[in-house]
Structure 1
Amino acid sequence: MDQAKPLISQTILKNVQLIDFFTIEAEFKKNIEMEDINSLHIKSDTHQQLSFFIESIGANRLILKLEEPYILGQISYLQLNEDKAVIGISPTLVRTELFDQLYYYPGDDLGVHYHKEKTSVAVWAPTANEVKLLLTNDWNGDKNQIIPLIRTEKGVWRTTLEGDFELFFYQLEVLINGEWRKANDPYAKMLTVNGQKAMIGDLRKTDPNDWPVYSLPVTNQDAIIYELHIRDFTIGRNNGIVAKGKYEGLTEKNTVTIQGIRSGLDYLKQLGITHVEFLPVNDFGSVDEANWQKQYNWGYDPVHYFAPEGSYATDPYHGYTRLSELKEMIATLHQNNLKVILDVVFNHVYIQEQSDFEQLVPGYYFRISPNGQLSNGTGVGNDLATERKMVRKFIVDCVTYWLEEYDVDGFRFDLMGIIDIETMKQVACQVRKRKPNALLLGEGWDLATAYPVEKRATLSQAKQIPDLAFFEDNFRDVIKGSTFAITAQGFIHGAQIDMQLLMSGVLGNPELFHSPQQAIHYVEAHDNHTLWDKLERSTKEDNSIRMKRHRLASALVLLSQGIPFLHAGQEFFRTKYGDENSYNADDFINQFDWERCYEYRGNVEFVKGLIAVRKAHGAFRLPTYKQIFEHIKWLKTSEGCLAFMLKEVEQYGEWKDIIVIFNASMHKKQFSFDYGNWQVVVDEQAASLIPLYTFNGESLEVNPLSTVVCVKL
């Protein structure tokens, strides 16, 4: 590594920084005399004199004002008699609006672009004085060919490598404020093990033989989302899957458990879900890819956003393997009419001070609180400053890359309430241009980040962003009790609740959203307690009663307007043994328990039946609130019960009228309806498109803790 030029060459000058494009702050180690001040001058490394005037004088501090804006990329010196200091770039400068105006780069060529004849390299680093490419054909070696990059427009540094550099490895080295820093390319698409270096390669060599086209198109209003973690779902000892913990595990067909039930891909197919949502599959930093069995993590520790995680690949050392295996997994799911949603984490990075963002443009990519400290609304030490133009561009570029390169069908935005509205609007716009039916959803929680809440993509701002769906926590908590109070009880416990909240959820939350497709309804997800674990801790009763309450919750999610979301294993009362936050717990806690799936296979069939009923009739997933209000009629009930009719809905399916009853009480409920031939397709025992029994409408008895769905042709 070259020796950087010292910032201070003599002893009087202590520190000199450019704090905005017109202001230089100089600190001295001792008081200076007026005759010394008169000798001050500023020169660039090209010997250009910079004009300035003195704005203020302190005992050992000066504020200088430049007459023209400072041009980044040059090295300039403040000289006082024989003393000379390099003018450093303060992090405050890169957070100014003028910085974004001057250095926003709209081009689509950042990163490395490989062709057999040549490879282009482009890196955005406006505050750097020099940038070098460290190139090698040895992924683990330190002998590099050093290639200087040329500074071009908007602070983009470039070079072109003539010839074929496939399977070469590279890193970047930048000189900023007199210090050399090493970083990986934030736009790197291929990596060596643990992201030590980026790799140059041919993306087309990682493609599957074919990208299947769906034979059963699904619109967003038809979506039924199933959330899973690749390792959880495939790691089980007796699941019949060979590639355990790997992308390939989800491509295996005809796998069965030791008990003989379908597992893996075939299990997903027979559930009837439409979308599989994967916890993060981009490169994260909390699992050693070379020894992945010894560590576990959900993956919310992003390091490289454009590259897949290597611990799920059969060979994490070769840059192609993780790409080709992930693409094959997605193609296989598509071949089986399952859409793919990726969980993406554009709210923070794993370790801020070590991140490539901070190495390449210090101070730019992260929000700063008024006290000068890193904003920490995410709770993990840093918040991405998504409102800055090049952070926004990075997010949009990344999302569209995954959409086009991996043919995914949607994205779940982790802690989306950190992200600004304008960024999410631009994401939605670019996604819709490429795939109109892509599903975009996120957590719109209002978190304490250093950016105004009215400008962030929170649940309260949902109507401003109609292309985004939001996890709806009011419906969740009114069903099961507060997620954050383990003993709190909800409707399924028979507790007294705000029935208006429950009814609003059934309607798809018209007070919150522009359309019901913005409402993501759920009662459990990967984080917080599973519903079963909450029921164990919020009730003192037999498991058979808890199972009925659990069924009632799943039925509410699947039979309400909006988009239902199921956590993998919810269908068989998934437990994590009371672990509320199992993000780094071992496989025993997190694994998809196929033995439990077999034990409670009756409930799996019940949930499959509910899914089939929902999919059988469009009245359960009406596209507008106008249609919902036209067709829904609330039925009179007593305490602990909710009932409604979807009337005159024959245009949406073969049933003319549908009655849905949720009885959360410990008492039987009696209902009388219009005379006619009613068919029961859901009761406390089963859910099936083949009618369970019929009645003439005169009287119907609904058992305690049960759901009943009656239909009339």
Structure 2
Amino acid sequence: MRNWKFNHIDFSTYPGYEGKDLGVFWSPEKTTIKIWAPTAKMVELRLYKDGVRGEAYHKTNLQKKEKGIWDTVLTGDYEGKFYTFKVNDGEWLEEVPGIYARCVGANGLRGMIYNPNTTNPENWVYDNGPRYKSFTEAVIYETHVRDFSIAKNSGIENKGKFLGFTEEGTRSPEGVKTGIDHLKELGITHVHLLPVNDFVTVDEEKPLEKYNWGYDPMHYNALEGSYATDAYDGRKRIVEFKELVKALHASGIGVILDVVFNHTYYAKESVFNQIVPGYFYRQKEDGSFSNASGCGNEVASEREMVRKYIIDTLKYWVEEFHVDGFRFDLMGIHDIKTMQEIRKSLNKIDHGLFLYGEGWAADQSPMPESKRAVKRNTSAMRKIASFNDDFRDALKGNHGDKKSKGFVSGLGLREEAIKFGITAAIHHPQVNYGYIETVQSAWAAEPDQCINYVSCHDNYTLWDKLKQSLPKVSNEELQKRVKLAGALVLTSQGVPLLHAGVDFCRTKGGNGNSYKSPDSVNQIDWSRKNEFIDVFEYFQKLIQLRKNHPAFRMTTADSIRRDLNFCTEYQVGVVSYCLDGKSVGDSWSKIFLIFNGNKVEVEIPLPEGNYSVVADAISINEEGMEIVEQSVRVDPVSLKILVQAENG
């Protein structure tokens, strides 16, 4: 019986390979096949006519070459045929499509030989996403392919599919815009998609029987078939995902992919372990799989061919699918050098690709934290951002405790943590880090390294969290708090990320971990947009406010330290500050923001001059709603944004 402990192996002795030709590549005359399997004694290729069933109609052995490479050439046209590899390293391993499979049949059981030129939509060569001078100009909307369109009231025909993002003119029964028209109406700049690469837990032959977010990877270079209209023909999912990208790009919206390189769903049975046992995973001292992911294993990003694989995969998604960035799940498991090399490699293709991730792990790792891409090491990874969970928890309370409260739910003494988010987690002389429970110091070097958010797919939606921590509060009062949280996220420095549907009070019925809950829990209920249309319009105006005014999206830490000043005396439950708009080229020379999380009204003295109120808890009007001087009253659970009047 195979020993799945690896403490007797020094993986650093395995040969590396620098070539760009690993995988299966079709041409009309021949198909070339090359895999890296340094421990193999024999590698067998099997060909099939079907992607799921039937016996192999042809078997052949690959030839061993230098640097752990095995290859062969199939003469003739093999387009549409399916394949697997079977490795013998002293005993036979399981049959798999290989780690570089780019096109697969149903449930990823077999790879598919295909002509990539047949997968390009019309005018694909001209497709490209939006690019910005600074990532702080982005407003990201995080969603799940199935959630986005599966509800009966979505008005979308291709429910739960990639093509659901391509349909224009869709409406809910109440007549509000849904789908891609909603995204354009809201004004976001990027859609962040939960994993779209091939994952395990949804049966692609019966896609509606199970639900999953997709953080259970099987193949990293192939797309998930349950999101395609035909899971059996691997080319369909490629074509339809490209149509999704093209439709969003045509609407001026970038596409960011959630990538899960930190672990695989299977450990012993994974594609990696069936080609090169043990190499792709970290081990404990006893040789067993370590588990910083909390999912049974963790990928050894620091090893040469693992790092190469990750970089090759990311480059493939950029070059083949024109995606605009990546979000790294549990980025804190990856080593810093790999993240730096990813940035360096992708810069050679496009400096405008946005990279960010979760700066933490789920459990202990044998790799010391000082070498990993955790939040505290963000400053060592320029042009890579981390999620600001310190700001998230300060806004609404601890993510795991449904009864805990934060600033927008009326908890005092969270002001310094709110200031930490407002200043994009960079060092600011007016932030007292000793009063922030979750951090000891700033962790971002520049504002484009900080993702500010109040909710995402994980944990409770903002609405559900507020409802559970404030069970006696009316819906009208909860809406005010949602608006206050949205205003804080969208006017703060850094990069704002919104959970899809937060703009109309999305609920999952109080479910705090819906990763495999049914569509009835996870689907976006588009009727809520009509029910909470005032909240939607408020978020819409906040996004436009941010776009119109560079003072809310400064591009350097020096600008924030110089031009953002906490200019009033401290009050419990109140955060207020001044922005020097003129210094950063804003049409507003002086901006004054006040956020009141208290249950009572507060009166705040104003700097000298007359001020025009452009935003409060109910509405936003850049033309101004009233003129005030000397002081301003701010309602409970509310805000005021004021601009120095021209005659002030």
Q: Which TM bucket (shorter chain)?
A: over 0.9
Confirm whether residue 545 of structure 1 aligns to residue 477 of structure 2.
yes
SS at match of 1:303: coil
TM-superposed deviation, 1:684: 1.1
Counterpart code for 1:391: V
Identity of aligned residues (%): 41
Q: Partner residue of 2:43? A: 131
Counterpart check, 1:431 vs 2:346: yes
Q: Is 1:395 the counterpart of 2:307 in the alignment?
A: no
Q: 1:341 offset after TM fit, Å?
A: 0.3
Please list the CA deviations of residues 531-556 of structure 1 after superposition, one character each: whole Å capped at 9, or x if unmatched: 11111121232222222222211111
**Alpha-carbon shift at residue 180 of structure 1 (Å):** 4.8
User: Does the CA-based 8 Å contact 1:357-1:365 persist in structure 2?
Assistant: yes
State the distance in 1 between where 2:548 and 2:522 align. Answer: 33
**Structure 1: any 5+ residue segments left out of the alignment?**
1-14, 18-87
Counterpart position of 1:97: 12
1:344-383 aligned within 5 A: 344-383=259-298
Q: Residues 520 and 431 (structure 1 numbering): CA distance in 2 closer, same or farther, change over 3 Å?
A: same
TM-score by length of 1: 0.85
Question: SS where residue 226 of structure 1 aligns?
Answer: strand
Asked if the contact 1:466–1:513 (Cα under 8 Å) also holds between the matched residues in 2, the reply is no
d(CA) in 2 for partners of 1:180 and 1:186?
14
Aligned to 2:599: 666
Assess, with a 3 A threshold, how the Cα gap between structure 1 residues 261 and 367 changes in structure 2: closer, same or farther.
same
Q: Which has the larger radius of gyration?
A: 1
8 Å contact 1:216–1:337 — kept in the other structure? no
CA displacement at 1:643 relative to structure 2: 0.7
Shift of 1:195: 1.0
**Where does residue 434 of structure 2 map in the other structure?**
none
CA distance 1:405–1:504, change in 2 (3 Å): same
- Per-residue displacement from partner, 1:500-526 (whole Å, max 9, x unpaired)? 222121111112111011011111110
Determine the structure 1 residue equivalent to 2:191.
276
2:436 paired residue number: none
Do the aligned partners of 2:132 and 2:352 also contact (CA within 8 Å) in 1?
Answer: no
Counterpart of 2:100? Answer: 187
Q: What do the CA deviations read for 1:380-439 (whole angstroms, capped 9, x no partner)? A: 111111111111111111011101110000000001111111111111111111111111
What is the CA deviation profile of residues 596-637 of structure 1, one whole-angstrom value per residue up to 9, with x for unaligned ones? 111001100011111111111101011111111211121225
Any stretches of 5+ residues in structure 2 without a counterpart? 427-441
Partner of 1:524: 455
Once the two structures are TM-superposed, the CA of residue 93 in structure 1 deviates from its matched residue by 5.3
- Partner of 1:258 in structure 2? 173
Equivalent position of 1:110 in the other structure: 22
CA distance in 2, matches of 1:626, 1:89: 52
Deviation string for 1:166-209 (max 9, x for gaps)? 11111001112233532211101101111121001111111121
Partner residue of 2:432?
A: none
Which is further off, 375-384 or 302-311? 375-384
How big is the shift at 1:113? Answer: 1.4
Q: 1:412·1:442 contact (CA, 8 Å) conserved in 2?
A: yes
Within 2, Cα distance between the matches of 1:178 and 1:684?
A: 68
Residue 277 of structure 2 aligns to a residue in which SS? coil
Kept after mapping to 1: 8 A contact 2:415/2:572: no
Kindly indicate whether the alpha-carbon contact (under 8 Å) linking 1:171 and 1:184 is maintained by their aligned counterparts in 2. yes
CA distance in 2, matches of 1:547, 1:710: 22
Question: Aligned partners of 2:556, 2:204: CA distance in 1, in Å?
Answer: 46
Distance 1:163 1:550, change over 3 A: same
**Larger deviation, residues 88-97 vs 158-167:** 88-97
Given candidates 597, 604, 610, the residue that maps to 2:529 is 597
Stretch moving more, 419-428 or 408-417: 419-428
Instruction: Give the equivalent residue in structure 2 for 1:569.
Output: 501
1:643-683 deviation line (CA, Å, top 9, x unaligned)? 11102526422111111110111122223434555322211
Describe the shift of the 1:503–1:215 C-alpha distance in structure 2 as closer, same or farther (beyond 3 A): closer
Contact 1:310 1:316 in 2 (8 A): yes
CA contact (8 A) 1:609 1:689 kept: no
Q: Indicate how the Cα distance of structure 1 residues 578 and 414 shifts in structure 2: closer, same or farther if over 3 A, else same.
A: same
Matching residue of 1:608: 540
Alpha-carbon separation, structure 1, partners of 2:394 and 2:292 = 26
Q: Given the superposition, is the C-alpha separation of residues 444 and 199 from structure 1 closer, same or farther in structure 2, using an over 3 Å criterion?
A: same
Residues 1:509 and 2:425 are matched in the alignment: yes
Q: Which amino acid aligns with 1:275?
A: H
Q: Is the 8 A contact 1:168 1:199 kept in 2?
A: yes
After superposition, the C-alpha distances for 1:546-600 in whole angstroms (9 at most, x for unaligned) are 2222221111111110001100011111111111110010011000011111100
Counterpart of 1:678, as a letter, is Y
* Equivalent residue runs for 1:64-103 within 5 Å: 91-92=6-7, 94-99=9-14, 103=15
1:490 corresponds, among 391, 399, 406, to: 406
1:305 Cα shift? 0.5
Distance of 2:399 and 2:134 partners within structure 1: 30
CA distance in 1, matches of 2:89, 2:641: 67
Aligned amino acid, residue 599 of structure 1: E
Equivalent in 289, 302, 307 of residue 222 of structure 2: 307
Show the counterpart of 1:476: 392
Equivalent position SS for 2:152: coil
The residue aligned with 1:49 is none
Moved more, 512-521 or 361-370: 361-370
Give the structure-2-normalised TM-score. Answer: 0.93
How far residue 355 of structure 1 moved from its aligned partner, in angstroms, is: 0.9
Of 470, 481, 492, 1:560 maps to 492
1:7 is aligned to: none
Identify if the C-alpha distance between structure 1 residues 260 and 172 changes in structure 2 by more than 3 Å, giving closer, same or farther: same
* CA distance in 2: counterparts of 1:440 and 1:215, whole angstroms: 15
Return the letter of the residue paired with 1:612.
Q
Distance in 1 separating the partners of 2:238 and 2:628: 58
SS in 1 for 2:219: strand
Answer 1 or 2: higher relative contact order, Cα 8 Å, separation at least 6. 2
Q: Does residue 618 of structure 2 align to residue 695 of structure 1?
A: no
The amino acid across from 1:401 in the alignment is: Y
Contact 2:31 2:77 in 1 (8 A): yes
Per the alignment, residue 622 of structure 1 pairs with 554
For residue 638 of structure 1, what is the aligned residue in structure 2?
571
What is the number of equivalent residue pairs in this alignment?
624
Moved more, 132-141 or 337-346: 132-141
Amino acid at match of 2:47: L
2:188 aligned counterpart, secondary structure? coil
**What secondary structure is seen at the aligned counterpart in 2 of 1:609?**
helix
Partner in structure 1 of residue 32 of structure 2: 120
Paired position in structure 2 for 1:171: 84
Cα distance, 1:210 vs. partner?
Answer: 2.2
C-alpha distance in 2 between matches for 1:512 and 1:548: 31
Q: Which amino acid aligns with 2:18?
A: P
Q: Is residue 655 from structure 1 mapped to residue 551 from structure 2 by the alignment?
A: no
